[in-house]
A and B are shown apart, each in its own frame.
Chain A
């Protein structure tokens, strides 16, 4: 668990604080996304957590211990750190880059080797001779994977990720996000994730914290932030398609109505979605099948139906607007 208490950072010569009296908590096993435009202080907050920057005032607790009382190098070895530019050591092979922190911690060589093999497999880097390549021989996506693998090498309970997928093209980015979310299901790290991309934030976040000009503007789950933005800034950050974004986060089963006798036809025509799938997908199916409602299934069994008017009602309710979608 990471906890910030009234943290302020003022860089010498800066007219206003880069981070202004910020307090929040990242719970165990959660992905907490810090979102905001560039220069809003989100990266500075991340860098204060592993003491790459020192707060001007306030304190940061990691597992209830004040980080300012720990040895900075030891603290950093216990926290995974991923940055956008990857920062892989160019003179070391992929395997030796991943082995960096275990090496600093003085693990025996055998343990390091088996851990490196494990991580190469976990990150899908075990094909060919990637382990023996140097960073400049890798693609952007591979470099990012190695960056994540290196951060996870000593199995730290906490990971700090500063736009880790920012430097790759959109297709690779989405794949890396999906893989990472899948991985997180297994490893359950406590993660602080910095991004300026609202879509990435909504996708990755268990908990979303929004910053503007050094101040914490809003925090909450992605759905909470989408349904009740705190102010115009958050509204503009979310964008004009907030209704669609909400539908992407809403499971079909939460809006469905009980099935009636004619809904069996839907099952026959294939006009169905699974209950855990997002409502956005249900809309897609409606459009394709030219229907105004779909069947919601659990496995092969019809659990309910979801109609165009159900969705519209939901959107109007959450956004408080009388708008047609």
Chain B
């Protein structure tokens, strides 16, 4: 396989850019779905009434992580067929675990004496969650979301295999036609997206973090 700089520049400037937005969709939509599912579920699982279910629900999330995304697509193939929807579904399931795990860890590690004192001062359970547990858990929760987001940026490449498009289309085209230039161009964009998304989430984390940590 030879490397043609001109072809690489062409790939960087013309072949790959149209797929950037598609790829971002493949990251943002599953991430939103995963956050919307994992966050409330994990918050609920840290409440005393539901704590006993934690290990079971976490087992489901763990399974979501161990099954390769392609296998998830295979499982849902009879119902959703190929294309965009199964790709989104597989990526969402894949993104759940890091968010859930980090959220549960973060909320559980809020010091017991702080929660006890808050309760002893007369905060209702809802006030303790909203004013004490969640603010103190922001760094942990954001770590989970960042891990998940970066993971999804690279995993979303596989979406192209089931017709889900995205930057994977460029990379797999490169693999099929033995064009390293395309593979490299796609990978560079994947890297840039991963770094930028991580930076943006870090900014968001700083904004949301409790003020004593700033």
Docked Cα-Cα span, A134 to B111, in Å, equals 16
Interface members, chain B 155-214 (any A CB < 8 Å): 210-213
Please count the residue pairs between chain A and chain B whose beta carbons lie under 8 angstroms apart in the complex: 66
Docked Cα-Cα span, A135 to B113, in Å, equals 13
Q: Among the listed A76, A83, A90, A91, which residue makes an inter-chain contact with B122, where contact means beta carbons less than 8 Å apart?
A: A76
Docked Cα-Cα span, A137 to B113, in Å, equals 18
Number of interface residues of B (CB under 8 A): 21
A87 near B117 (CB under 8 angstroms)? Answer: yes
Contact with B along A65-81 (1 / 0, CB 8 A): 00000000111111001
Docked Cα-Cα span, A91 to B211, in Å, equals 6
| Contacts A73-B122, A91-B135 given; does A81 touch B211 at CB 8 Å | no
Q: Among the listed B121, B136, B211, which residue makes an inter-chain contact with A100, where contact means beta carbons less than 8 Å apart?
A: B121
Docked Cα-Cα span, A77 to B124, in Å, equals 10
Across-interface contacts of B211 in A (CB, < 8 A): 91, 134
Across-interface contacts of A73 in B (CB, < 8 A): 122-124
Q: Among the listed A77, A87, A90, A101, which residue makes an inter-chain contact with B116, where contact means beta carbons less than 8 Å apart?
A: A87
Across-interface contacts of A135 in B (CB, < 8 A): 212
Q: Among the listed B114, B122, B210, which residue makes an inter-chain contact with A77, where contact means beta carbons less than 8 Å apart?
A: B122
Q: B120: CB under 8 A from chain A?
A: yes
Docked Cα-Cα span, A87 to B116, in Å, equals 7
Across-interface contacts of A175 in B (CB, < 8 A): none
Number of interface residues of A (CB under 8 A): 25
- Minimum CB–CB distance for B210 against chain A, Å: 3
B114 near A90 (CB under 8 angstroms)? Answer: yes
A89 near B114 (CB under 8 angstroms)? Answer: yes
Across-interface contacts of A52 in B (CB, < 8 A): 116, 119-120
- Minimum CB–CB distance for A290 against chain B, Å: 52
B121 near A83 (CB under 8 angstroms)? Answer: no
Q: B118: CB under 8 A from chain A?
A: yes
| Contacts A74-B122, A104-B121, A136-B212 given; does A83 touch B116 at CB 8 Å | yes
Docked Cα-Cα span, A136 to B211, in Å, equals 12
Across-interface contacts of B116 in A (CB, < 8 A): 52, 83, 87
Q: B28: CB under 8 A from chain A?
A: no
- Minimum CB–CB distance for B211 against chain A, Å: 6
B121 near A81 (CB under 8 angstroms)? Answer: yes
Q: A212: CB under 8 A from chain B?
A: no
| Contacts A90-B210, A91-B136 given; does A76 touch B121 at CB 8 Å | yes
| Contacts A89-B132, A91-B211, A91-B212 given; does A81 touch B120 at CB 8 Å | yes
Extra contacts besides A83-B117, A87-B116, A88-B114 (4): CB < 8 Å: A87-B117, A90-B136, A90-B212, A100-B121
28 cross-chain CB contacts under 8 A: A50-B120, A52-B119, A73-B122, A73-B123, A73-B124, A74-B122, A76-B119, A77-B121, A81-B117, A83-B113, A85-B117, A86-B113, A87-B117, A87-B120, A89-B114, A89-B131, A89-B132, A90-B114, A90-B210, A90-B212, A91-B135, A91-B210, A91-B213, A92-B212, A101-B121, A104-B121, A104-B127, A134-B211
